[in-house]
């Protein structure tokens, strides 16, 4: 979970409830004055008038330091009035009989005003210092969290959070989409401002010298070269220069991060494109070899029949025709396998899975493969009551068919096709007595276009690569083992869905 950082609001003009504050301030002034009066009255006749005045000066200083300017002035005036009324002879009225006392009163008022002014200035500076410290801290924390952002959406979320923490808002942050539209749902006039600041590549709004009539700040997220989006901060004050600078600093940080994310994505895309092109070119080089060779045989045989058929014996003509048909069907297989492999590798769409019976798939493959197996070298063993599997039957048929075709091509003895299953996995094994694949090549034969080519015979091209891709697409595996007594055992294994479908259905 992302850490939510809450900073204190840094806008100095935090508005409290409208009436409560003046009432509380008034009460504080009256309370302070009452305290001074009671204190001075208690000390009446024991101390001099000057000391009593000092008590009033004390509360005026306290008020000047802790209350707003107007309240502290009122407090000073009230102190002078109360002191005059209660203590300055003649007492219990506002008259002043001694010029000396009058001077003291005026001095007291002036002292109160000066202190109030100084205290207010001090308080403002403290507040400013505190808020700029909080802002600096926010910038630092934002920089830290943004450093971990790896995509634009995360950066956007962090940016929005920071804006909401720093300004009362509402704040809008919109990023430019690939199609040039702004994301998020902003009101039309806000979107207009966002677009305008992106176009001018500069901050707009009160205090910026651009569009001072606006009631919000608009800041572009971008630099001279690129623009990633824009920010709108509402409810701001033209005079809040520090706030404006802070907004600009936040946006600069966000721009930096967005630029970094953008660059990283572009680099990743170009690397992927480079790899894709490399794979494609090796693929093309390899497939063109596998297509050219049979094509040459077809063209050779066909042109011989065309130009020399009068000179060729019937047997010779038959042989050439047979070669055309078999080479062409080999071409067709290579094409099928290539297309299927490319499709499996490139599409993100899931398989067309349905409930299938391996017995049926094996049966349909055998029906096709027997044409190339006149001696019935393939012996199948399929037990009864196999579990159904969730699979793409066309692909599994292609897998089993490719394995059988390979076994027929690379071996001469008997070939065993064995299906077995338990509650968890279903396995199909194709076992031949051909030349065993050396252990160091047992991985390579599943790579596209690596083939066990010592025999000089043409392979099924990427037949085995396709078989493994099909097995993996079904969450299964395809492996090869050396058999005891010679030969290879290719085993396809895939998981069985423990939830088997129920066969009960009404009869129609």
> Judged by CB under 8 A, how many residues of this single chain contact another protein?
34
401: closest CA among 351, 304, 329? 329
User: Which CB atom, from 186 or from 364, has the smaller least distance to another protein?
Assistant: 364
Q: Which of residues 355-374 bind another protein (CB under 8 A)?
A: 355-357, 359-364, 366-367
Tokens of 256: 């930096």
- In whole angstroms, the minimum distance from the beta carbon of 231 to another protein comes to 49
CB of 161 to another protein, least distance (A): 48
Secondary element (H or E) of residue 160? helix 152-166
Answer for the pair 480, 488: CB distance below 8 angstroms, yes or no: yes
CB-nearer residue toward another protein: 242 or 366: 366
Which residue's CB is nearer to another protein, number 237 or number 343?
Answer: 343
| Per-residue DSSP letter, 204 | B
The answer to whether residue 388 forms part of the interface with another protein (CB under 8 A) is yes
Q: Choose the binding region for another protein from 129-137, 143-151, 187-195, 328-336 (rule: CB under 8 A).
A: 328-336
User: What is the chain's Cα-based Rg?
Assistant: 45
| Contact predicate 395/358, CB 8 Å | no
* 299 touching another protein, by CB under 8 A: no
* Tokens found for residue 376: 């019935």
Q: Which stretch binds another protein (CB under 8 A): 290-298, 307-315, 487-495, 497-505?
A: 497-505
CB of 498 to another protein, least distance (A): 15
User: Structure tokens of 482?
Assistant: 């050396």
d(CA 449, CA 349): 25
Nearer to another protein, 165 or 369 (CB): 369
User: Please, which residues bridge with residue 427 across strands?
Assistant: 420, 493
Q: Is 287 in the site for another protein (CB under 8 A)?
A: no
Single residue of 80, 173, 397, 469 touching another protein by CB under 8 A: 397
Closer residue to another protein (CB): 221 or 393: 393
Binding span for another protein by CB under 8 A among 7-15, 24-32, 312-320, 321-329: 321-329
- 442 near another protein, rule: CB under 8 A: no
Q: Which is nearer to another protein, 240 or 290 (CB)?
A: 290
Report the residue number, 39 or 387, with the smaller CB distance to another protein.
387
Residue 144 vs 303, nearer CB to another protein: 303
Residue-by-residue DSSP string for 244-293: HHHHHHHHHHHHHHHHHHHHHHHHHHHHHHHHHHHHHHHHHHHHHHHHHH
Neighbour tally for 55: CB within 10 Å: 22
Which 407-426 positions form the footprint of another protein (CB under 8 A)?
419
Q: Examine residue 332 and tell whether it contacts another protein (CB under 8 A).
A: yes
Residues 6+ positions from 229 with CB-CB distance below 8 Å: 156, 173, 174, 175, 176, 182, 183, 194, 198, 220, 221, 222, 258
Cα→Cα distances 161→7, 145, 186, 356, Å: 10, 11, 17, 52
Residues that bind another protein (CB under 8 A): 325, 328-329, 332, 336, 339, 354-357, 359-364, 366-367, 380-382, 384, 388, 392-394, 397, 419, 501, 503, 505-508
């Amino acid at each position: 979970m992302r850490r939510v950082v809450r900073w204190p609001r840094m806008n100095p003009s935090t508005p409290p409830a409208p009436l409560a504050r003046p009432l509380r301030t008034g009460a504080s002034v009256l309370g302070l004055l009452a305290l001074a009066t009671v204190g001075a009255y208690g000390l009446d006749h024991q101390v001099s008038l000057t000391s009593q005045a000092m008590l009033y000066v004390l509360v005026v200083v306290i008020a000047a330091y802790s209350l707003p300017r107007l309240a502290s002035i009122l407090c000073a005036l009230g102190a002078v009035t109360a002191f005059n009324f209660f203590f300055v002879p003649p007492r219990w009225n506002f008259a002043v009989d001694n010029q000396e006392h009058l001077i003291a009163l005026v001095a007291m008022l002036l002292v109160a005003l000066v202190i109030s002014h100084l205290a207010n200035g001090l308080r403002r500076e403290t507040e400013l210092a505190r808020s700029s410290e909080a802002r600096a801290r926010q910038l630092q924390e934002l920089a830290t969290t943004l450093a971990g952002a790896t995509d634009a959406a995360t950066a956007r979320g962090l940016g929005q959070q920071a804006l909401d923490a720093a300004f009362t808002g509402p704040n809008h942050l919109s990023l430019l989409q690939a199609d040039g539209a702004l994301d998020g749902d902003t009101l039309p006039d806000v979107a207009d401002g966002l677009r305008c600041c992106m176009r001018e590549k500069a901050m707009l709004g009160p205090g910026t010298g651009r569009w001072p009539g606006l009631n919000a700040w608009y800041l572009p997220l971008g630099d001279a070269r690129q623009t990633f989006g824009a920010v709108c901060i509402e409810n701001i004050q033209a005079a809040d220069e520090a706030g404006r600078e802070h907004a600009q600093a936040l946006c600069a940080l966000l721009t930096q991060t967005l630029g970094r994310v953008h660059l990283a994505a572009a680099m990743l895309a170009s690397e992927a494109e480079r790899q894709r092109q490399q794979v494609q070119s090796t693929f093309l080089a390899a497939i063109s070899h596998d297509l050219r060779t049979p094509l040459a045989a077809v063209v050779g045989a066909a042109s011989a029949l065309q130009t020399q058929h009068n000179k060729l014996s019937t047997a010779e003509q038959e042989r050439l025709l047979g070669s055309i048909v078999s080479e062409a069907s080999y071409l067709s297989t290579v094409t099928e396998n290539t297309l299927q492999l490319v499709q499996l590798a490139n599409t993100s769409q899931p398989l067309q899975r349905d409930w299938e019976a391996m017995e049926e798939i094996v049966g349909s493959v055998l029906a096709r493969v027997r044409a190339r197996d006149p001696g019935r070298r393939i012996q199948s063993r399929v037990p009864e009551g196999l579990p159904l599997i969730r699979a793409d039957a066309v692909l599994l048929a292609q897998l089993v068919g490719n394995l059988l075709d390979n076994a027929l091509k690379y071996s001469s003895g008997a070939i065993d096709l064995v299906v077995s299953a338990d509650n968890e996995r279903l396995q199909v094994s194709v076992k031949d007595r051909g030349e065993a694949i050396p252990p160091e090549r047992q991985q390579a034969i599943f790579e596209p276009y690596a083939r066990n080519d010592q025999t000089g015979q043409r392979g099924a091209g990427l037949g085995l690569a396709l078989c493994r891709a099909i097995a993996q697409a079904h969450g299964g595996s395809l492996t090869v083992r050396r058999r005891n007594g010679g030969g290879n055992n290719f085993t396809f294994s895939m998981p069985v869905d423990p939830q088997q479908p129920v066969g009960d259905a009404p009869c129609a």
